[in-house]
Amino acid sequence: MRRMRFGTMLAMVFTLATGNVFADSLTPFQPGPSDVVLADVQPHFNTDDNRNNEYYSEWWSFVFTLENGYWAYVQFLVSNLGPGDGNAVVTAEVRVPGAEKYSEKTELKNGQWSWATDSFALKFGENTLSGPLDALKIHLKNASFEADFQLKNVVPPWKPGTGRAQYGASASRYYKFALLAPVALLDGTVKIEGEDTVHNVKGFVHADHSLCTVGMQEQAKRWMRFRAVNPKTTLIVSDIEPPSIYGSERIQFAVLFSEGKKVFETTRFNIKFDNEYVDPKKTGYSTPRLVEINSTDGGTKARFVIKTTKLTGREDFLETAGAAKRFVISKFAKPIMYDFDGVFAAEVITDGKAEKFGSKGRYYFAILNL
């Protein structure tokens, strides 16, 4: 599976003003109805707080698992970073069997992208994302290829309770998250520019929506995520350890789906890390390779054990950033992200009855600062 792009996670730190506000409290995701409504996933750019907030970034990401050697990744992104506000980017990548990977970024300025107010419909140049929230449609058109994807959710869109974590007393400083598609079946077509063949693709996809109005260096000190996605069993876990100015509070959620039904969800859990991988290239950097999670929610008890099996990627942003960005970011963040293949095993006990689950997945651990 495609990992979350580290560049997106770090987008909020690309500014000359670090803007670290010493907040007085942290309000993580609160328990509540987990249904996703239109207002959760519409662009939030046009609010008074976000329109001129340099740290505002919002994105809709799609990770595809396709049959017969096909591969794809799509992200729609809006950000105020750098010169100008309300800039947008569509990242679209595909690979067809026996061919190279085609990767395109369509960059747009404010005014070149739009959205409907009464339905879910984004238009980024010639690229669109629209439809009912549980049956989205994606249309892509760029210099390399044109593609259409139709999604049909296996389970409904979901968010972790309120889906909103607030940094400090100001209501304008927050992180929002929702799963547009925890897992959805997919049909689509891809046509490579200059070729007559239309490729029919099938598979499944995982899609989420994220919004952040604070700098990444303030949003997280360390961030662990695990994602196991398939139509039979889907587990999504996230654990954010914010900077120490917020005390010991964490921003967490876990949700498990099986056979099209939600088995367990929570916005609070106890977490234990073990079996550290020590980075041989970076002194002081390590990442746990074994995670145990225990939670009780609504009388249901759940235990998850996540184990990594293979390190598949490491990205040290200071090694790949340009000199100007490296100079600025190194003053307040030293970010590295580790990707692993992994597996999970779970036991969920409801009314004394235990059910067990397990699957392969992807594990990500990001360190923003020691």
Percentage of the chain exceeding pLDDT 70: 89
Q: Mind listing the pLDDT tens digit for each residue in 265-277?
A: 999 999 999 999 9
pLDDT band at 15 (very low <50, low <70, confident <90, very high): very low
Q: Is the pLDDT of residue 367 over 70?
A: yes
Pairwise CA distance, residues 156 & 134, whole Å? 6
pLDDT at 326 over 90: no
Residue 81: per-residue pLDDT: 80
Q: Token pair 């770090």 is at which residue?
A: 10
pLDDT at 219 over 70: yes
Residue 329 has pLDDT above 50, yes or no: yes
Segment 236-254, tens digit of pLDDT: 999 999 998 888 899 999 9
Q: What pLDDT, in 10s, does the model give residues 253-265?
A: 999 999 999 999 9
Q: Between 215 and 35, name the one with better pLDDT.
A: 35
| Mean local confidence (pLDDT), 212-239 | 94
Q: What is the mean pLDDT of residues 53-58?
A: 92
pLDDT for position 317: 75
pLDDT band at 217 (very low <50, low <70, confident <90, very high): confident
Q: In this predicted structure, what is the pLDDT of residue 319?
A: 63
Among 12-16, 170-174, 285-289, 330-334, the minimum mean pLDDT is found in 12-16
User: Which pair of structure tokens corresponds to residue 162?
Assistant: 């309120």
Assign 3-class secondary structure to the chain: CCCCCHHHHCHHHCCCCCCCCCCCCEECCCCCCCCCCHHHHCCCCCCCCCCCCCCCEEEEEEEEEECCCCEEEEEEEEECCCCCCCEEEEEEEEECCCCCEEEEEEEECCCCEEECCCCCEEEECCEEEECCCCCCEEEEECCCEEEEEEEEECCCCECCCCCEEEECCCCCCEEEEEEEEEEEEEEEEEEECCCCCEEEEEEEEEEEEEEECCCHHHHCCEEEEEEECCCCEEEEEEEEECCHHHCCCCEEEEEEEECCEEEEEECCCEEEEEEEEECCCCCCCEEEEEEEEEEEECCEEEEEEEEEEEEEEEEEHHHHCCHHHHHHHCCCCCCEEEEEEEEEEEEEEECCEEEEEEEEEEEEEEECCC
Q: What pLDDT sits at residue 4?
A: 46
Q: Does residue 18 have a pLDDT over 80?
A: no
Residue 137 has what pLDDT? 98
pTM: 0.91
Average pLDDT, the chain: 90
Residue 83 above 50 pLDDT? yes
Fold of 1-12+24-217: AttH-like fold (2.40.370)
